[in-house]
Amino acid sequence: MLRKIKRVEFPLHLMLIPGLLAILLFNYIPMVGMTIAFQDFMPAKGLFGSKWIGLENFRYMMELPDFYQILWNTAFIALMKIIAGLVVPVTIAILLNEVRKEFFKRSIQTLVYLPHFLSWVILSGILIDILSPGQGVVNLFIRWLGFHPIFFLGDNRWFPFTLVISNEWKEFGFSTIVYLAAIAGISPSLYEAAIVDGAGRWKQTLHITLPGMAPIIVLMCTLSIGNILNAGFEQIFNLYSPVVYESGDIIDTFVYRTGLIDAQYGLATAVGLMKSAVSFILISISYFMAYRFANYRIF
């Protein structure tokens, strides 16, 4: 029996080798570069020839006047995205579940799902056009209502909320699928019993649909804690400008400018390493909470 198991499973283990090699090559070997965070790194001297300065990059990082504002921007934008990423898809999933015309339901689902497949390079160009304070469609409508135009991408008061709304517009259709699947798993007999008891659609949603979705909502909420420092580099990089650095500059964009534009490789690596360490702790906490409250386990 043991010999048969080995004969069946051995080819499957061989199939893992290419994937494991790829992970080793692209995920683990590059981690040697973390030593740059503790060096006055000079590209000409290389990784092993640069001067070792210990925690000096981390001290300098903490003394930067903009560092805590950047940290706040990252957490604030990411937290708003997490909240919107839970509320909007759950609401849309419940509304779609109430649609009885199957063709209409599938059509709406496809339309809200499509933006997920567009990159932020494309969507940023669209947003820059429609949010333009001069001839943008949104501001033309605002003028028509009798208000002054709003510079959504150039005003620090509006920029973070513009990021959250545009991100949710792009992603909520994809997230809705998860919650529609959770609704599909609710037993129809519960709705039939509620109808017999005289419950309307609102009561059915409140006492059957939402409790039935609760485990997946708790799971998605707890897992999203690990992304509290991931505010969305690609989106912000394509939409922000020096005018809105005060409210839109996040850790990832700061690392990009510091490391690749200003060539302060040690400082950029120190900031990135700090973010990775905090994210690791948060992800560990989120998985523990997912196991504790939603009975979710990886292994």
Give mean pLDDT, residues 7-24: 84
Above 90 in pLDDT, residue 67?
A: no
65's CB contacts (< 8 A; 6+ apart) are none
Q: Could you tell me where in the chain the CATH 1.10.3720.10 domains are found?
A: 61-294
pTM of the model: 0.83
The reported pLDDT for the residue numbered 4 is: 60
CATH topology for 61-294 is: MetI-like fold (1.10.3720)
SS3 assignment, position 288: helix
The reported pLDDT for the residue numbered 21 is: 93
Query: How would residue 161 be classed by pLDDT, with cut points 50, 70 and 90?
Result: very high
Closest alpha carbon to 122 in 231, 232, 234: 234
Torsions phi, psi for 52 (to 5 deg)? -85, 125
Task: Read off the DSSP letter of residue 241.
Answer: -
Percentage helix, strand, coil for the chain under 3-state DSSP, each rounded to 5:
75, 0, 20
- Length of the chain, in residues: 299
- How far apart (Å, rounded) are the C-alpha atoms in residues 215 and 213? 6
Dihedral-angle region of residue 41 (phi above 0 means left; psi in -120 to 50 means alpha; beta otherwise): beta
Mean pLDDT of the chain: 84
The reported pLDDT for the residue numbered 23 is: 92
Please state, for a pLDDT cut of 90, what percent of the chain lies above it: 4
The reported pLDDT for the residue numbered 117 is: 86
- How far apart (Å, rounded) are the C-alpha atoms in residues 208 and 185? 12
Above 80 in pLDDT, residue 255?
A: yes
